[in-house]
Amino acid sequence: MHLNEIKVNIDQPVFEWHRLLEAASANDFIVIEKDRDKMIWFITNYTQFLIRSGNVEVATLYGRLIPDYKSFVYQANLALPVGYELGTNPHALFDLLLNFETEPENRFIIWNDAGYLYHLNEEDFRDIFEQLIVSAYCNRNGISTIKADGTRYRVNQRNIFIFNEDEFDTIKPLLDREYYITSIDKPFNKRIDFNLVRLADGSTNQ
């Protein structure tokens, strides 16, 4: 398992947080923090920064309102631009996460309190987690589809998963395994690297 560790000082301006995260080597972010207030400050400010910055699709998912697969699909259906109501089968969700309806420069999917579903239904969580990271990897690397003009569909798609710090050990196995990548060139299995984000401020040296 390779985790690219990033420390974000939340006392700094939000554009400095973004500078660090934008330059991160791995595709997706695992944010862990034990201080609930600190976490809320970070994610609310960063979400609004992304929305204001332009050329970014931002889909925010509210984890404490996601007790099962069906409720995740409902939220994702209303967060990502699409012109139809989804069914609850895995193929429908994966198609939505690839989301060929639009082609922004950047797309961020933010799953707040992601650990809530993990504790309620680990199987549903694992299914959704895999679909999120595989779809983002495919879109970011231009291996998801060919457009009508013959060019590859490519979006800088990244996921931000928000966890309490004490949940980190429970999700480690998901960060240290191979995933089946549905490449249009040739499907393959791959271990995917993650960025591990820790928050700091003037009151802590962590």
Cα→Cα distances 107→29, 88, 172, 200, Å: 13, 23, 25, 26
Closest CA to 188 of 139, 131, 134: 134
Domain boundaries, the chain: 3-200
Q: Please compute, for residue 145, the number of CA atoms within 13 A of its CA located in the half-sphere on the CB side.
A: 14
pLDDT of residue 206: 45
Residue ranges in 100-186 assigned as alpha helix (H): 115-120, 122-140, 168-175
Q: What's the CATH number for 3-200?
A: 3.40.50.300
Residues in the chain with pLDDT values less than 50: 206
**Residue 106: predicted pLDDT:** 96
Reading the block at residue 55, the tokens are 């050329």
Look at the pTM and tell me if it is higher than 0.85: yes
pLDDT tens string 57-101: 999 999 999 999 999 999 999 999 999 999 888 889 999 999 988
In one-letter notation, the amino acid at residue 164 is: N
> Is residue 100 a contact partner of residue 151, using CB atoms and an 8 Å limit?
no
